A and B are shown apart, each in its own frame.
Chain A
Amino acid sequence: MKLLIDSIQLGLLYGVMALGIYISFRILAVPDLTTEGSFAFGLSVSAAVTSLGHPVLALPAAMAAGAAAGAVTGFLQTRWKIHPILSGIITMSGLYSVNLSVLGGSPNLTLVRANTVFKLIPFLSKNDAKTVLPIFFALLCLGLIILFFRTHIGMCIRAVGDNEDMVRASSIHTGACKIIAFCVSNGLIALSGALIAQYQGYADISSSTGILVVGLASVIIGEAVFGRRSVTVGFISAVVGSLIYRYIIALATRYSPLPAHMLRLVSAVIVALALALPAFREHLGTARLRKGGTDDA
């Protein structure tokens, strides 16, 4: 039971990040490596502001920080025409120094004595708050982001990921659309980092290493359950995927012989296999044809 509750809490908090990853990975069709930096950026800003005694302010501050990081990546990509993957890597690398300075030069910061949002809710114990707040934030973000992608600007962003030429020919500024999308995406990712920092009671820069793969795994697992349908379903499936991912990880750490530090490797393998599925299918199809079968299957 404890296992399940823990994974629901973490799954929802990381689910906010999965929403951000869904925007870059599925809607813009660009895997955005800024994620690794902006998650840690949210983590650091949240920890720093919380330790100054403002745990609530820490959340919008972290979101703004993440959005700024996204804007930089978007700018590098659209204005300076740097390759999408490289733009993300550049921002991510730069953020490493920024995050260290935010944490005062050390790679981690403890919040044991500080007041976090989880201790602030009246009538709720800290433990209950750790369940209620993730539900609240995940649903709030999910609702807002679904609404956002039903607006005109949201539709433009979807179109940019689908057929950029056509959007330009419809007199819409594709660069601006992309920058806004990266801002929203990384703002969500940073918010997730901010909540995680307060949830865990400490911020550790290295916890963002490989976080993109965790987000991708969530999106892919969600799609395995729901299929690839509309954007609205996509966002819901990303959060559900994050929940499932956390539960699998929790089970794995509990029962498998693998030590905890092998988790990222497991995630990486899951993502690689899931992304390779179309290639496997094609290979199987060719093999069948070669044997003289038909491709009816």
Chain B
Amino acid sequence: MLDIRNAVKVFEKGTPIEHTALNNLNLHLEPGEFVTVIGSNGAGKSTLFNAVCGTFLLNRGRIFLDGQDITYLPEHVRARTIGRVFQDPMKGTAPHMTIEENLSLAHSRSTARALSFAPAKKEIALFRDRLSEFRMGLEDRMKTKVGLLSGGQRQAVTLLMCTIVPPKLLLLDEHTAALDPATAEQVMDITKKTVEAYRLTTMMITHNISQALSTGTRTVMMDEGEILFDMSGEEREKTTVDDLMRMYSTSRKKELDNDRMLLKKE
């Protein structure tokens, strides 16, 4: 579904603080794969997501999505087929607009007609239906401004916005990291169900290694703009958090360092 070939991204090129964030990275995702991405600080995880979304262009390399070359497509065009949830719950929604207006905005990528009234009645029924699946009571608060919701509720709305028209690729950038543990679990649960129900091709950055190993179908560890390990299936099932740490230290000759990484087993 997603095919990244020889991706290179260098920041501040030609200055003393030149920094290679993606170093000839290759990654291929099959349709329906759910890949968790881990890595130390500055490993290039978010850079990878930004490159796929078109926040900036690559210095070298190509990106294909569903066979289409999207390397030079502008961000808002890619957004038609790529959904993204950020860590910051403020980022994905418009705070002064109601839940149904936010959802309608996202839903419009399939139906957009500039001068039709929005949100349309048909849409609202659909939103209510989908929101009720979350069991957060949001379906009864459709006319509430999103700014009044809690972080977890906002992330749930954002997730629905990204998936109301099933995207070809769903990118989750530590989307539960800013939430309290109970809410994080709730949002994670919703995420898993949604991904499963629509068989979404998904990449999720997480700082929780045991979650990375237990969620999805494949785990990728990034370091210095490259992919260090890539495991799936039986190999992944047998791997523990400790194994991963050891593999990292032997191959990089240094300790895995991420000030937010959760190394303990739960």
Q: B53, B76, B115: which contacts A173 (Cβ < 8 A)?
A: B76
Stretch at the interface among A38-46, A126-134, A145-153: A145-153
CA distance A159 to B102 in the complex (A): 8
Q: Is the CB of A170 within 8 A of B106?
A: yes
Q: Is the CB of A172 within 8 A of B93?
A: no
Q: Is the CB of B97 within 8 A of A152?
A: no
B25 at the interface (CB under 8 A from A): no
Known: A150-B117, A150-B118, A171-B76. A166 touches B93 (CB 8 A): yes
Query: Which residues in chain B, 160-179, are within 8 Å of chain A measured between CB atoms?
Result: 161
Q: Is the CB of B113 within 8 A of A168?
A: no
Q: Closest 4 CB pairs between A and B?
A: A171-B79, A162-B94, A152-B118, A171-B80
A-B contacts besides A152-B108, A159-B102, 16 pairs, CB < 8 Å = A151-B114, A151-B117, A152-B112, A152-B118, A155-B118, A159-B105, A163-B90, A163-B91, A166-B92, A166-B93, A166-B94, A169-B79, A169-B84, A169-B92, A171-B80, A171-B109
Q: Please give, as numbers and ranges, the residues of chain A lying within 8 Å of B79 by CB-CB distance.
A: 168-171
Q: Is the CB of B109 within 8 A of A151?
A: no
A-B contact pairs, 22 of them (CB 8 A): A151-B114, A152-B104, A152-B108, A152-B113, A152-B114, A152-B116, A152-B117, A155-B97, A155-B101, A155-B105, A158-B97, A158-B101, A159-B97, A162-B96, A163-B93, A163-B95, A166-B94, A168-B76, A170-B106, A171-B79, A172-B109, A173-B76
CA distance A169 to B81 in the complex (A): 10
CA distance A170 to B118 in the complex (A): 15
Instruction: Name the residue of chain B whose CB is nearest to the CB of A153.
Output: B114
Q: A151, A165, A167, A173: which contacts B105 (Cβ < 8 A)?
A: A167
CA distance A163 to B101 in the complex (A): 13
Q: Is the interface of A mostly helix, strand, loop or mixed?
A: helix
Q: Please give, as numbers and ranges, the residues of chain A lying within 8 Å of B114 by CB-CB distance.
A: 151-153
A174 at the interface (CB under 8 A from B): yes
CA distance A152 to B118 in the complex (A): 5
A205 at the interface (CB under 8 A from B): no
Shortest B181–chain A CB gap in Å is 26
B77 at the interface (CB under 8 A from A): yes
A197 at the interface (CB under 8 A from B): no
CA distance A223 to B109 in the complex (A): 34
A216 at the interface (CB under 8 A from B): no
Q: Please give, as numbers and ranges, the residues of chain A lying within 8 Å of B119 by CB-CB distance.
A: 155
B3 at the interface (CB under 8 A from A): no
CA distance A168 to B106 in the complex (A): 10
B224 at the interface (CB under 8 A from A): no
Q: Please give, as numbers and ranges, the residues of chain B lying within 8 Å of A117 by CB-CB distance.
A: none
A238 at the interface (CB under 8 A from B): no
Shortest B250–chain A CB gap in Å is 39
CA distance A154 to B113 in the complex (A): 11
B230 at the interface (CB under 8 A from A): no
CA distance A168 to B109 in the complex (A): 11
Shortest B108–chain A CB gap in Å is 6
Q: Please give, as numbers and ranges, the residues of chain B lying within 8 Å of A153 by CB-CB distance.
A: 114-115
CA distance A261 to B94 in the complex (A): 43
CA distance A249 to B14 in the complex (A): 60
Q: Is the CB of B105 within 8 A of A170?
A: yes
Query: Which residues in chain B, 89-148, are within 8 Å of chain A measured between CB atoms?
Result: 90-97, 101-102, 104-106, 108-109, 112-119
CA distance A169 to B112 in the complex (A): 15
Known: A151-B118, A152-B118. A172 touches B105 (CB 8 A): yes
CA distance A154 to B119 in the complex (A): 11
CA distance A152 to B106 in the complex (A): 11
A138 at the interface (CB under 8 A from B): no
Query: Which residues in chain A, 199-253, are within 8 Å of chain B measured between CB atoms?
Result: none
Q: Please give, as numbers and ranges, the residues of chain B lying within 8 Å of A64 by CB-CB distance.
A: none
Instruction: Name the residue of chain A whose CB is nearest to the CB of B85.
Output: A169
Among the interface residues B77, B80, B93, B94, which one has the most CB atoms of the partner chain A within 10 A? Answer: B94
Instruction: Name the residue of chain A whose CB is nearest to the CB of B162.
Output: A169
CA distance A155 to B109 in the complex (A): 13
Known: A152-B112, A155-B104, A171-B79. A166 touches B118 (CB 8 A): no
